[in-house]
A = this chain, B = another copy of it.
Amino acid sequence: MQPKKNELLILPLGGLEQIGANCTMIGTNGDWIIVDLGIAFYDSLGIEVLTPDVSFPAKMLDKIKGIFITHAHEDHIGAIQYLWPKLRCPVYVTEFPAAVLRQKLKECPWSGDVEIRVVTCKNPIHLDNFEIEYVTLAHSILGACGLYIKTDAGTIFHTGDWKIDEAPLLGDKIDEKRLIEIGKEGVDCLLCDSTNVLVEDEAGSETHVRQALSRVISQYKDRRITVTCFASNIARMETVFHIARESGRKIAIVGRSMFKMISAVSETSYLSKEFKAGISSIIPEEDAVSLPPSKVLLMCTGSQGEARSALFRLARGENRVIKLGKHDVVVFSSKVIPGNEICIRDMQNLLTRNGVEIVTTATEDDIHVSGHPSKGDLVRMYEWLKPKSFIPIHGDSVMLHAHQKFAEQNGIHESLIVESGEIIGLSNGQLQRLSKIDLTFMALDGQSLIPITHDAINERLTMSTGGSISVSFIVSNDNRLLNAPDIITRGIFIDRGEAKRLESRLYQIVANEVTKHPGSVNEIKRECVSAIRKVMTKQFDKKPAIFIHVHRS
């Protein structure tokens, strides 16, 4: 593909098929920048983390000018710790994400090599063919910015995740003034967050959450309160500090991730008086349990039912110090992220079974607000930026299509639904599909990153439904079977009678194949697999993985 001059290229590597793994490449005149490098959470076949596949940029390192991070959520920043060694270019971030990133990289042996360039809004970065300006938006984390990307070939505004919050409690308000100016300067293409395009009205404010949480918690004066929320939502954490102080409760924090975020925010200018006071009033878990329930407020992560989270550990009774029971109320200051429904419900069932009362947005309004734009927020962004064209990002196919339709209804007629790997040309505000590169997602498997389509992962799926059978035997040099085959099954239910029948059936099969294919171990193996597969399907209605060991003696 030979890009034209005066053409901007947009190449998403993730963020369009599922929640997370956000990553978009923007190119012009042969140079590229990367916007965001996030992970997606996965919960199957031993895989917990997916990253984008960066083999395309990794092949042209001299052309990759930098990684630009919009904000510090895992789905935007979380893959740097796995992929940076393949890219080895500077990482541009604002103050808070920089603090978070430094902490994440601590455990990486190559962390000293990473050039983290801390940038500020209103000070565009000039970089070869690009001018990149960070613009303050609001989100459920501090320091979330959109990127205004100017090139000779045109301009792009990339929102990252955002919403409008008129009173975000911590951090700046959305920079409406600058957005209007940018709209006047001219945006050729808007790449915009699609998460909540199906939600009516406005996203709502952290200030409302403070009021609602305060009201709800005041109803449980005699009970111990646990608030669960995302560790990265610093404003929310400040709210919990505020309510604890207001209601005369001491704060104990359960789990490490909140302490990490506290330490990150402490390095920044966002550290408010209220937050500082909150930190200094934290007591250890051991002290919390010796206070009356009415005097304690616990704060922890785990609102998404993550199996190893502080809250799920509490639900399973695995916290050595704190046991939740009838005198406890757990307040979910959180939403259900799609995909986590079952885990969250399992955890909530466990909590209620132990007598804990749970409070969620299902029954209490406003104890959480989303960090993503509802229809009302989106319309305002369209009005500010007046983009000539539009690509919905950050969402699955249903969301992207809904967003395209919604933008169309609001006067944005030039748009494309894009899949990961598609290279889109932007020229004079017109979008065009140019080509598609081969792309997958990478799965973090133990210490390795392997394609999610790798045989090893498919084999686990086979074994997870069908179990395994391993058969080992010895063939003499004159092609006789020397023993009854040794059979081991795992994950297959066989009663004794069936086991006997299976053994003698497999003995026959093996003896038969050894005779039929003298001298060819591979052929014996292949034919044994095929015959055993038939027997297993017929006798057990199961398709196990089959291992054949043949020894020569």
Name the residue on B nearest A471 (C-beta).
Answer: B549
Copy count, this protein chain = 2
The list of the 4 closest CB pairs from A to B, nearest first, reads: A464-B464, A446-B541, A46-B465, A472-B549
CB nearest neighbor in B for A419? B353
Instruction: Specify which of B396, B400, B470, B482 is in contact with A470 (CB 8 Å cutoff).
Output: B470
Cα-based distance from A376 to B550 in the complex (angstroms): 69
A486 lies within 8 A of B549 (CB) = yes
Restricting to A350-385, which residues have a CB under 8 Å from any CB of B?
350, 352-353, 357-358, 362-363
**Chain A contacts with B in 488-514, Cβ cutoff 8 A:** 488, 490-493
CA–CA, A363 and B402, complex, Å: 10
Q: Are A491 and B457 in contact, CB atoms less than 8 angstroms apart? A: yes
B341 contacts A488, CB within 8 Å? no
Q: How far is it, in angstroms, between the C-alpha of A457 and the C-alpha of B493 when the chains are bound?
A: 8
Within 8 A of B (CB), among A150-180: none
Q: For A450, what are the chain B residues with a Cβ–Cβ distance below 8 Å?
A: 493
A545 at the interface (CB under 8 A from B): yes
Q: Is the CB of A464 within 8 A of B460?
A: yes
The answer for the CA separation of A433 and B491 in the assembled complex, in Å, is: 37
Q: Which residues of A contact B (CB under 8 A)?
A: 17, 44-46, 198, 338-339, 341-342, 345, 348-350, 352-353, 357-358, 362-363, 396-398, 400-401, 419, 445-448, 450, 454, 456-457, 459-468, 470, 472, 474, 482-483, 486, 488, 490-493, 540-542, 545, 547-551, 553
Residue in chain B with minimal CB distance to A463: B463
Cβ A463 vs Cβ B467 within 8 A: yes
Which residues of B have CB within 8 Å of A483? 551
Partner of A488, one of B45, B464, B549: B549
> Smallest distance from the beta carbon of A70 to chain B beta carbons, Å?
24
For A46, the chain B residues whose CB sits under 8 A away are 464-467, 542
In the complex, what distance in Å separates the CA atom of A37 from the CA atom of B349? 23
Contacts of A486 on B, CB cut-off 8 Å? 472, 549-551
A459 and B467 within 8 A (CB):
yes
